[in-house]
Every structure is written in structure tokens, then in C-alpha cells.
């Protein structure tokens, strides 16, 4: 699905927040390394898609009325067979309806459960004066509590991506500490540059978050994605 098609559909529905499946599909088409994620509207679709993705899988509710999926019991991890997927689908839908009355539920997002890597965040926000600004940092407590992030204006050159990675205080974590393997810096840099290209090409994108991105010794993979578009 093209960016223009997704944009038109979201605006027709009065949405500025793209759903996870839409966001990941657009980013994947743009060359950003994201986990393949499909939308299942029914229990049976979820089971079929889970088999295609390969167990174990993750299910997450897809609803324009639910921003924080985990808070409402809308996320189920490490589902290892069709029966578990079917039960999880039913539970997610029931939890979501209970938590948010009259919530519009498109279905659930289905994706293979990626192996754990070093968590980083790649994001973008729009500054009212300077326009789109890219952000990079380590995930988890490093960004939430310590605000250990770096920023650069879009568009980015290669040296900008290098500097963004190297200037965070947690940079030694990416080199490997306490027996952990070093992260693939080249892959992280490529992901940052691809996101920069994407937001430069599509000025309608006002906010973008890849959180977390798992950094591996060989490669990187965004397992969650969020895109906010302008109203018009």
C-alpha cells in the first residue's frame, strides 16, 4: 500500500495516528528494517498468519481508540502454537472492549517474536521553528529516566548519523559490556539514515518512533513503530 493511499484512508477516518501495521508497512517499503507485521481481523486469520510468521509470535490490539496497548491487556507475547494464538486473540478483544467502551477494534497485529537485542530508539519529531528533527538513544531506562538521547536536523548526512550514535553517554553499551556482544553500528546508522530519508520525502509525517529497535551483532530490527501525520 502506498504512502498516499494510507494517508488518504487515515484522513478519511479522521485519524492522525497510523496503526502499527500501516506504519511498519510504509517503513519497510522505505528500506527501514522493521519486523513483518500483518493485520488479523478474526481469530482464524490470526492463527493462519501466526503459522506463516513462524512461532513464537506476538499479538497486539489494533484500535484507533487505544494508544497504550499493554495497559489494557492488549498485548500477548511468546505464543507458541495455534491454540495459544486463538485464546490470546479472544482475550485481547475482550480486554480491549472492557477497558475502552465502544472502542473500534480493527483486529490484532501479528508478528514473529524477534530475539532480544540491545534496545535502542530511533525517532523523529517536528520542531515548530526548525522542522523535522531526528532522535537516537538507548532504549528502556536510558531514555525514560536519563534522557540520554541525541538530536539532528533532517536531512542527515552519514557523519550526522555517526555523531548521533557516538555522542550518547551510553555508547559503550553498543560496544558490548559485561559479556554482551557488540551491536552492528553500521546497521544502526543505515536505519537512522533511512528514517531521515523517509520523513524528508513525506512532510506529512509529524512524529515517528521506532521503539524498541533491537540491535544485534549482525543487523538491527524495529519491533514496534508509531507514525503521526498532519491533519491536512
> What residue spans define the domains of the chain?
36-113, 118-229
Residue 109 has pLDDT above 80, yes or no: yes
Q: Which CATH number fits domain 118-229: 3.30.470.20, 3.90.1150.10, 3.30.360.10, 3.40.50.10470?
A: 3.30.470.20
Report the DSSP beta bridge partners of residue 214: 119, 221
140 pLDDT more than 90 = no
pLDDT of residue 143: 77
| Cβ proximity of 205 and 229 under 8 Å | yes
Domain 36-113 has CATH 3.40.630.10: no
pLDDT band at 8 (very low <50, low <70, confident <90, very high): very high
Q: Is 133 exposed, middle or buried (0-12, 13-18, 19+ CB in 10 A)?
A: middle
Residue range 131-148: average pLDDT? 87
Please, which residues have CB within 8 angstroms of residue 157's CB and are 6 or more apart in sequence? none
pLDDT at residue 178 tops 90: no
Q: What percent of the chain has pLDDT over 90?
A: 92
Render the burial of 4-23: b for 16+ CB within 10 Å, e for the rest: eebbeebeeeebbebbbbbb
Of 19, 14, 15, the C-alpha closest to 224 is 19
Question: Which secondary-structure segment (H or E) carries 138?
Answer: strand 131-138
- What local confidence, expressed as pLDDT, does residue 147 receive? 85
CB 209 within 8 A of CB 123: yes
Amino acid at each position: 500500500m502506498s504512502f498516499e493511499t494510507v494517508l488518504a484512508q487515515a484522513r478519511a477516518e479522521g485519524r492522525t495516528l497510523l496503526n502499527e501495521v500501516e506504519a511498519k508497512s510504509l517503513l519497510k517499503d522505505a528500506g527501514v528494517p522493521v519486523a513483518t507485521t500483518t493485520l488479523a481481523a478474526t481469530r482464524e486469520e490470526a492463527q493462519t498468519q501466526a503459522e506463516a510468521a513462524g512461532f513464537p509470535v506476538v499479538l497486539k490490539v489494533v484500535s484507533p481508540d487505544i494508544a497504550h496497548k499493554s495497559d489494557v491487556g492488549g498485548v500477548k507475547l511468546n505464543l507458541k502454537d495455534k491454540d495459544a494464538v486463538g485464546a490470546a486473540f479472544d482475550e485481547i478483544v475482550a480486554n480491549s472492549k472492557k477497558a475502552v467502551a465502544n472502542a473500534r477494534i480493527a483486529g490484532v497485529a501479528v508478528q514473529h517474536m524477534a530475539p532480544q537485542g540491545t534496545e535502542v530508539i530511533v525517532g523523529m519529531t517536528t520542531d515548530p521553528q526548525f522542522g523535522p528533527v531526528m532522535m537516537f538513544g538507548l532504549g528502556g531506562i536510558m531514555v525514560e529516566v536519563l534522557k540520554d538521547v541525541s538530536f539532528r536536523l533532517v536531512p542527515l548526512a552519514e557523519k550526522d548519523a555517526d555523531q548521533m550514535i557516538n555522542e550518547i553517554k551510553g555508547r559503550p553499551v553498543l560496544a558490548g559490556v559485561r559479556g554482551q556482544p557488540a551491536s552492528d553500528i553500521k546497521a544502526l546508522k543505515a536505519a537512522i539514515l533511512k528514517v531521515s530519508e523517509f520523513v524528508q520525502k513525506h512532510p506529512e509525517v509529524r512524529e515517528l518512533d521506532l521503539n524498541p529497535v533491537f540491535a544485534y551483532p549482525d543487523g538491527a530490527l524495529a519491533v514496534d513503530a508509531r507514525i503521526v501525520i498532519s491533519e491536512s
